[in-house]
Amino acid sequence: MHAEDLPNTVFMVDSVPHAWLFPRMAAVAHHGGAGTTAPGLASGVPSIVVPFHGDQPFWGQRVAELGAGPEPIPRRKLTVDRLARAIDAAVTDTAMRQRAAGLGARIRTEDGVACAVSLIRGIAEHDRRRL
């Protein structure tokens, strides 16, 4: 894809950090990979997931179950109309927006690294005692 092939309404960039971009959006649409879903949820805005393989259908369904986005749209069933309806729901459904904001706030207070270190230390200490 080349910038000169795109309409003036599309701005192409090489890379933008999800953690910076997503909180500035009314909603985010993405493929639903774990590395995109996590910052999508942490952003506090609804996620529209269009999965196409691997773990993506799971994460798309999980976002919907949490009420942080509409039902995922499988790639093979993606149409302009379905995507437009999902975007409309994501930006106008007050309850969905509130659930996404609340979940994002909870996620942002977590310290995953500290939690992982604590768990690993606990396992190591348990194993050391067994020796």
pLDDT at residue 39, rounded to an integer: 96
Domains of the chain, first to last: 3-130 (3.40.50.2000)
Per-residue confidence in pLDDT tens, the chain, 131 aa = 788 899 999 888 889 999 999 999 999 999 999 999 999 999 999 999 999 999 999 999 999 999 999 999 999 999 999 999 999 999 999 999 999 999 999 999 999 899 999 999 999 999 888 87
φ, ψ dihedrals at 47, nearest 5°: -110, 135
Rounded to whole angstroms, the Cα distance separating 129 from 1 reads: 57
CA distances from 94 to 67, 98, 127 (A): 11, 6, 49
Strand partners, 29: 48
Q: Which two tokens stand for residue 62?
A: 């999980």
- How many C-beta atoms lie closer than 10 Å to residue 20's C-beta? 10
